Amino acid sequence: MGELDGQVAIITGGASGIGRATAVRFAAEGAAVAVLDRDGETAARVAEEVGGSAHALDVRDGEAFARVLRAVADVAGRLDVLFNNAGTGDLRPLHTVDDKLWHRLIDVNLTGTFNGIRAAAPLMLEAGRGAIVNNASVSALTPTRNEAAYSAAKAGVVALTKSGALEYGPSIRVNCVAPGHVRTPLTAVWEQFPDVFDPVARAIPLGRIGHADEIAEVVLFLASARASYITGQTVVVDGGISLPQAGTDVALAELFERFSPG
């Protein structure tokens, strides 16, 4: 028996990366999965893979978001889980972020999550149950340089998560996952510049970059009955990179190896 048997789950940004991995994992646990993505063609391929449905959606469009969720719930007769996963990023110094880029990062990452919660909450409240999982980032908690706008948007996702948990309990649980460095199509640049990014992997206490299916496992947990007494929480899944002095520890270890006797 699967952990999500008979349940209906919606995943935004479900066409690739963490979204696709979560769609596969949810389906394996018995859920009927609706894959939402701006790329409708790729969403359709993932939906076919998991035996679900596909819907083209730009999460910045709140009215369209509400229509899609209502349509899914009307066809399936219920809505149990929403994974607000769609997101986008950019790296550049704060003072070079123009208005267009600022609004894109805020609108996709933060407003998109807001639109999802706003659309799902009435449907779940009608049913008296539901679980919402939002995808933030470890950068929401410990930003790195040149990602101010992205980090600000993701920090807003953490705040929305806590607000949703306060407002919609006990019927709806709202939690958040905060991934660290994970191999997805958005991080393909790491493969192109291994000399730059290999030190990042070495600085992670677990010694490697994460995989999308490892994040999917945590999303599944938060969506399932196993997390029945968890709400308003942000679960960091980063291999330990956000631990204080994690990067410094690598440098100190190298110095120790160089200069230790014998």
| 217-258: pLDDT as tens digits | 999 999 999 999 999 999 999 999 988 766 665 565 665 577
Q: Check: CB of residue 59 under 8 Å from CB of residue 116.
A: yes
**What is the reported pLDDT for 85?**
98
Task: Specify if 192 maps to a domain.
Answer: no
Size of the chain, expressed as the number of residues it contains? 262
- CATH number of domain containing 230: 3.40.50.720
Active-site residue, 150 included: yes
Which residue carries 């192109």 as its tokens?
192
List, for residues 127-152, the tens digit of each pLDDT value.
999 999 999 999 999 988 889 999 99
Task: Specify if 254 maps to a domain.
Answer: no
Task: Specify if 255 maps to a domain.
Answer: no
Omega prior to 185 cis, within 30 of 0? no
Count of other CB atoms within 10 angstroms of residue 9: 30
Task: Specify if 65 maps to a domain.
Answer: yes
Task: Specify if 62 maps to a domain.
Answer: yes
Percent of the chain with pLDDT over 90: 78
Rounded to an integer, what distance in angstroms lies between the CA atom of residue 108 and that of residue 147? 15
**What is the reported pLDDT for 250?**
59
Task: Specify if 47 maps to a domain.
Answer: yes
Count of other CB atoms within 10 angstroms of residue 192: 8
Domain interval for residue 93: 8-185+210-242
List, for residues 3-61, the tens digit of each pLDDT value.
999 999 999 999 999 999 999 999 999 999 999 999 999 999 999 999 999 999 999 99
Task: Specify if 99 maps to a domain.
Answer: yes
How many structural domains are present in the chain? 1
**What is the reported pLDDT for 198?**
79
Task: Specify if 202 maps to a domain.
Answer: no
> Looking at 26, 65, 114, 150, which residue is catalytic?
150
The two structure tokens encoding residue 171: 């019927």
Q: Check: CB of residue 54 under 8 Å from CB of residue 68.
A: no
Q: What angle do CA 213, 58, 141 make, to 5 degrees?
A: 50
- Kindly give the interhelix angle for 62-76 and 112-127, rounded to the nearest 10 degrees: 30
- The pTM is what? 0.92
